[in-house]
Structure 1
């Protein structure tokens, strides 16, 4: 079902949404305080009955359900029936704490198991460089999708996805094209540190061989005038500009500090870059034996790099804010000093906090929101700096996160990037996956979420950015009304006319004719070298209520749009669905109603926007 086939009512909806006291004291034996007779314990109010079914718009829990769904848009890859009910019954605070306590679902062990199940070597040496490397990366992509759609650690995986767009690597780059295990390892590193300390994360990123290859720090040598060698400045520049302090000095609220002429104050200069470049000399893959050895084995690409002291620059180095690393230090000592110097710069709190707010909650957090979160980054209340668990909790529980759509309706929220939109569809209608066949036409055991080529369909794919600057910049402002109002709109940088149409077609393709109960869907399969095939989905819950158009629209409104479709648009949708022929015992008519309702909603701005 392409956008060109949407009904007239659907197009009307789509176009319309785009313009849119207690005290105490002792008694003793003092006559003035005679002994008090024991009183019965007050009876606590009974626990409320658990909410067992998703509320409809007329139900008493509808507003609570909408609040829960909004919360889940910010904390997961999309609300599901089970997750909405979990938040309703546990409460947001308890659900959030449970998520913060849930350990990471690791991609690399699952990838190695997948390789072995296919009869492939899990850790080849050297790593596969020919066409088979592409097939190996298909497995990595399948696992990424399967984990983010189904894993219990939804918040951790969502934060890891946000971090992957700040601390960027990409296998679009030739140097990482076939580093399949390394990419999975990098993903796991982000997930494991997502609720840890940013200082530890920054060093783990710096020493990860995928970052070493991507930004050319691996095998970076100290200066040698005789051989015309100078330390590579690539990582030194990006670790400051993108991963820690940014280009200009910041106030705690994320606004730029200015000089006497009103100009932003640069946070570093070329001499600082040169000094950090000298810090980052002498590091190579963990599995090398001599400095000149180049290795691309699949084990080494998932282990932290190791130091070669003879190749490291041991002269003194002047870093940020007057810090000087003394001469004669080892590579490890210089690394520790440099990481501490970056981490303790006052810019890091507001710089990283604002970007995490943008990725999880809203493109335009107020300076006060940024300051509240940055203050927690600087001190979690127990004297600890960089506590990401405290930062994430503060971001998600802040008054702007919870009530921004009411407090600032004209500026709060964000365009949901394509990955989050398609993931929401596949979580709302649990994606079963698709059958995949081997080169010899034998069936692979199990079904796969085969969507490596999502950049062609959606304009975005995990670990597929075209540069270290991510798919879009955090400071991007779309020309026209958004820019004229001095607002930011990062995701709009990839929301071009062509990608908007392609993405809408992909969303409707993910819904139409994908019912897992249909014989033709069960018969479909993806060939050995296919990089994309929309999975079968489970719409049985929606088909069971398809005869009640209002109930169907309310369910989809809640799970796909967090209940933000207004009454006039809701009524138009109900009338559109009621106009379709329906037979009580006709599964085909039920399926058509679900497809029409879900397809129209997925094409609307109510689905595209996270408010």
Structure 2
């Protein structure tokens, strides 16, 4: 396996072998280093050991009185690691809030924040609802990057991103009525508005969403035609079961498959899909006079066209929705039945854990979260606020992992999250409000991933993906984000980040004023970057290599200090211990 090594101009006077060759020699065997980035599965697996984060312990129990709880201070590294799981990226300000409020207090404060201006409203304010934009995607990427990088409700944005990768729609598939930017923005706004709500309510909103109706082709779906033999479209019926609710196989509460005679038990059959498809007939845009000259219809739920709806009985998943019901009633009864399925809690809980904390949660972790999904303590199923809190506060998420060589805990950071980690850490801002980052899906030149631009309904990466012929597969682990990882994407990422760090993107630039006083002292500079960006997880050996590289660079003036900052940031953002969060 070979790759072209990216050149870092800032290191021309910094002993380049320290930035690449020596860092590579310090990396695990079978490792390819590209501008400091470890790229093979084996290397990133080796980086997938434990991680810090515990904040509380108890005194030994007394025989007569309950033990008092001794709360230990949250360290900078622990606060940063928590924010790597719970936000779009750590900042010194948010780290201080975590330390002051505690983990639970910070989560509660975040959930109490009001939502910021919607993507849809931003597009309107920017004038993208002019008819000249009807057949373009203009403005969408900017409206979303602004949210991910700049919104104070960073937990809500992180959960919205996670939900968008479970209940997938993608802008390139939103083609039915034009105004794709608004369709995509509307869908993300919907997910954001329900990020801390109830999952059953979210399923209901998705199932009447005009963008989802377009994307999974049940908008305009009609009942069986006995003359032509045409059957209802089965696309949404299949995906709402397979991807949005119960999955393909029966699960125990801990997420492990149920077995019968040694074989996994399927959750549904083609007959179930056919029966459920009858429910999703009759839905169409609420055009209010067939007017598509503005995008407003995309921001309204779909409506029922009674003559197109199947009014006969519909049987699926061992239940029958009776004949004679209107479309809305039959759909709600069907969704209630799906939501009541025992798989929903473990299926959705495990995926949320994978998106936020670790790719391979223990069955016990999944069961604890799924238990909260089934009952938030007040008898309510599907309370996402309770579920998110349970995920982030669980002992597996917060406890220190003693064995740093562990290969079972951790996750590769998605490219989007690597980018926003840098942008948030150093207050990247677009003074013109243009946020001209654009579509970053090209793996050779950009991130290889961009919000709501998944190539399929199966997301950018599947939750059960296993890199073939890798140490990960040998260890019987999964590594979802590795589905995006190859030579091209690694080189493209480093090049993209190097340019973003040094030059910004358009008028969006980072503010390094907090780093300037540290730049003449390489050790202090790298220590700060390691703490805020990588939660203190970069190994001592790799820290030393980066420090030596920076030390060899000129210093003493602001231009040389900035060059040191650019080089140090690029190497930290390419370090294996940053790319894989423990």
Q: Same fold (TM over 0.5)?
A: yes
TM-score (structure 2 length as normaliser): 0.87
**TM superposition outliers: structure 1 runs of 4+ over 3 Å:** 14-24, 127-130, 293-297, 404-408
CA distance in 2, matches of 1:200, 1:103: 19
Residues 508, 602 of structure 1: 8 Å contact kept: no
Please name the residue that 2:447 is paired with. 458
- Of the three residues 493, 499, 504, the one matched with 2:483 is 493
1:324 and 2:345 matched: no
DSSP-derived class of the 1:251 partner: coil
1:301 and 2:298 matched: yes
Please name the residue that 1:226 is paired with. 227
CA distance in 2, matches of 1:278, 1:345: 19
1:3 and 2:6 matched: yes
CA distance in 2, matches of 1:15, 1:142: 40
1:310 and 2:307 matched: yes
**What do residues 355-377 of structure 1 show as CA deviations (whole Å, max 9, x unaligned)?**
00000000000111111101110
TM-score (structure 1 length as normaliser): 0.83
1:13 and 2:39 matched: no
CA distance in 1, matches of 2:146, 2:174: 26
Q: Within 5 A, what are the aligned runs for 1:441-456?
A: 446-456=432-442
1:534: Cα distance to partner?
7.6
Please name the residue that 1:34 is paired with. none
1:432 and 2:429 matched: yes
**What do residues 68-125 of structure 1 show as CA deviations (whole Å, max 9, x unaligned)?**
000000011110111111112222221111012122222222221122xxxx546x5x
Please name the residue that 2:473 is paired with. 483
CA distance in 2, matches of 1:69, 1:590: 25
1:383: Cα distance to partner?
0.7
Q: Within 5 A, what are the aligned runs for 1:95-134?
A: 95-105=106-116, 106-115=118-127, 121=129, 124=131, 128-130=133-135, 133-134=136-137
CA distance in 2, matches of 1:554, 1:111: 40
Please name the residue that 1:521 is paired with. none
- Of the three residues 361, 364, 381, the one matched with 1:368 is 364
1:188: Cα distance to partner?
1.1
1:163 and 2:159 matched: no
Please name the residue that 2:196 is paired with. 195
1:382: Cα distance to partner?
1.0
Number of matched pairs:
529
Residues 510, 534 of structure 1: 8 Å contact kept: no
DSSP-derived class of the 1:455 partner: coil
Q: 1:594 to 1:199 in 2, by over 3 A?
A: same
Residues 179, 301 of structure 1: 8 Å contact kept: no
CA distance in 1, matches of 2:18, 2:172: 41
CA distance in 2, matches of 1:174, 1:14: 44
Residues 276, 319 of structure 1: 8 Å contact kept: yes
Residues 451, 534 of structure 1: 8 Å contact kept: no
Please name the residue that 2:392 is paired with. 396
Higher-RCO chain (CA-CA 8 Å, sequence separation at least 6): 2
Q: Within 5 A, what are the aligned runs for 1:255-404?
A: 255-260=256-261, 262-288=262-288, 297-320=294-317, 322-403=318-399
DSSP-derived class of the 1:511 partner: helix
CA distance in 2, matches of 1:376, 1:605: 34
CA distance in 2, matches of 1:97, 1:347: 28
DSSP-derived class of the 1:79 partner: coil
DSSP-derived class of the 1:172 partner: helix
**What do residues 219-247 of structure 1 show as CA deviations (whole Å, max 9, x unaligned)?**
10001121332100000000000000001
DSSP-derived class of the 1:510 partner: helix
1:555 and 2:528 matched: yes
Q: 1:601 to 1:23 in 2, by over 3 A?
A: closer
Please name the residue that 2:575 is paired with. 604
1:16: Cα distance to partner?
3.6
**What do residues 40-68 of structure 1 show as CA deviations (whole Å, max 9, x unaligned)?**
xxxxxxxx9xxxxxxxxxxx97x711000
1:512: Cα distance to partner?
2.2
1:418: Cα distance to partner?
0.6
Aligned-residue CA RMSD (Å): 2.3
Q: 1:15 to 1:346 in 2, by over 3 A?
A: farther
DSSP-derived class of the 1:426 partner: helix
Please name the residue that 1:546 is paired with. 519
CA distance in 1, matches of 2:380, 2:435: 40
Larger radius of gyration: 1
Higher mean displacement: 139-148 or 103-112: 103-112
